[in-house]
Copies of this chain bind each other. A is one copy, B any other.
Amino acid sequence: MEAGRKAFPRPLDLKGGRVELGHGAGGRAMTQLIEELFERRFANPLLAQRHDAASFPVAAGRMAVSTDGFVISPLFFPGGDIGSLAVHGTINDVAMAGARPLYLTAGLILEEGFPLADLARIIASMADAAAAAGVSIVAGDTKVVERGKGDGIFITTTGIGVVPDGIEIGADRARPGDAVLLSGTLGDHGVAVLSEREGLRFETELRSDSAPLHTLVAEMLAAAPEIRVLRDATRGGFAAVLNEIARESGVGITVREAAIPVGAAVRGACELLGLDPLYVANEGKLVAFCPEPAAARLLAVMRAHPQGGDAAIVGSCTDDPHRFVQMRTALGGTRIIDWIAGEQLPRIC
């Protein structure tokens, strides 16, 4: 808080206090919440402008913008919480356009009665995740709804980044013959969240893979600017990503089951829970399509990065007017990988 501003009668009670409707009313209570919690944690010069809009200089070029709402339940889970997830998820969406993320905005929808201690923990987690990734949270908004009209906290983050010259990434750019690469094991996020939600305990700890992927993407693009498609495999999992790309690009895709990395603990939990790791959400894994000659070079770069240690070439694109996604199973058969029809795991992000 700037020295020149009037102080508030009492500091915000971040231990025992709760969110009140007044915290969203545009008056003194809201200003106090902004100053004593958000500005302290998110401290950066753009936010300190205290405009409704943050303004910043840009160089001529291409920018990318993406928005994502987070409604995950429970709010805290092994490997992260809704705050770090909201930062990582939007950084990743911007990165999947080939862009370098620079700025985030955050819109909070709080439920009356939500503990301020939980809010403070989530805000600290957002701030830490943003700082670790080198992005600034430059604008925000807080609304409060009555008890029973929300569920603790929902966060909508929007990310803005710059796209380097010469990069052309798009879900419609895959071509027959392209290699399909996956950056690591599937299912970690969804299985960790579901286990926490259901109170399940496994012998091996299950942790969300929630992580920012923008430095991995930057290294991939530097090594292989001919990358055609990048997607993070979030809601709907790897299966949804493959079906989207097949549909947009007008190609078939064949993947090899034996090549798809899945951790032993996740595999065991999925068998117990009746889940298929192909459909389970990830928050730190990406799928890349590139011309076949670049695949080995790209794989080497991915494996050398902390977020790509388990990367693998898992399949290729085919010339298929039906745009089917198929999997060669470990037993030698072939099965269609269809979209998930309904909701497999609600509120997983």
Binding site for B on A (CB under 8 A): 4-6, 20-22, 24-31, 49-71, 93-94, 96-97, 99, 103, 105-109, 138-146, 148-151, 154, 156, 158-161, 163, 169-172, 231-232, 234-237, 240, 243-244, 247-248, 250, 281, 323, 339-347, 349
Q: What residues of B have a CB within 8 angstroms of the CB of A27 in the complex?
A: 235-236, 240, 339-342, 344
Check B67 against A341 for contact (C-beta < 8 Å).
Answer: no
Check B67 against A106 for contact (C-beta < 8 Å).
Answer: yes
Check B160 against A97 for contact (C-beta < 8 Å).
Answer: no
Check A68 against B107 for contact (C-beta < 8 Å).
Answer: yes
Q: What residues of B have a CB within 8 angstroms of the CB of A231 in the complex?
A: 52
Instruction: Give the complex CA separation of A40 and B215 in angstroms.
Output: 35
Instruction: Give the complex CA separation of A268 and B158 in angstroms.
Output: 41
Q: What residues of B have a CB within 8 angstroms of the CB of A59 in the complex?
A: 60
Check A22 against B141 for contact (C-beta < 8 Å).
Answer: no
Q: 12 additional contacts, CB 8 Å, given A26-B237, A67-B107, A144-B346? A: A20-B342, A21-B342, A21-B346, A22-B343, A27-B341, A51-B96, A53-B94, A54-B97, A55-B63, A67-B141, A68-B141, A145-B346
Check B66 against A109 for contact (C-beta < 8 Å).
Answer: no
Instruction: Give the complex CA separation of A235 and B26 in angstroms.
Output: 5
Check B54 against A66 for contact (C-beta < 8 Å).
Answer: yes
Instruction: Give the complex CA separation of A93 and B55 in angstroms.
Output: 12
Check A145 against B347 for contact (C-beta < 8 Å).
Answer: yes
Contact of A108 among B69, B140, B146, B341 (CB under 8 A): B69
Nearest B residue to A241 via CB reads B26
Nearest B residue to A28 via CB reads B339
Nearest B residue to A344 via CB reads B25
Q: What residues of B have a CB within 8 angstroms of the CB of A240 in the complex?
A: 26-27
Check B342 against A138 for contact (C-beta < 8 Å).
Answer: no
Q: What residues of B have a CB within 8 angstroms of the CB of A56 in the complex?
A: 62-63, 65
Instruction: Give the complex CA separation of A231 and B340 in angstroms.
Output: 46
Check B170 against A49 for contact (C-beta < 8 Å).
Answer: yes
Say how far A341's CB is from chain B's closest CB, in angstroms.
6
Q: What residues of B have a CB within 8 angstroms of the CB of A281 in the complex?
A: 26
Q: What residues of B have a CB within 8 angstroms of the CB of A25 in the complex?
A: 235-236, 340, 342-346
Do A66 and B344 contact each other (CB < 8 Å), given the known contacts A55-B97, A96-B51, A339-B27?
Answer: no
